[in-house]
Amino acid sequence: MKKIAISMLFASATLLMADGAASYAKCAGCHGAKGEKSALGKSAVITGQDAAKTVEQLNGYKAGTLNQHGMGGVMKGQVASLDDAGIKALADYIATLK
């Protein structure tokens, strides 16, 4: 029973990571393949950024309450389609970038 539960947790984590990677594809144009670029020469580099910080920022952009470096409008459009699980998966993926 423990083996099955562990396997299911691993499978769930793998799926979330895949979802995060898929979601990140539209971020890469500005932030770089590994988050190594300052988006449009304005943002901080996000490589390996703490997942909790990323979740907070993405939720702020989605709500329209965050406008760092004047990028609020652009980022709001980018994250509009993400639900809470999608934001979490994306943030977890960004945290793994090196």
Classified by CATH at the fold level, domain 2-96 comes out as Cytochrome Bc1 Complex; Chain D, domain 2 (1.10.760)
CB 95 within 8 A of CB 34: no
Structure tokens, 69: 């470096």
Residue 91: pLDDT band (50, 70, 90) is very high
Residues 26-67: pLDDT tens digits? 999 999 999 999 999 999 999 999 999 999 999 999 999 999
Domain residue limits, the chain: 2-96
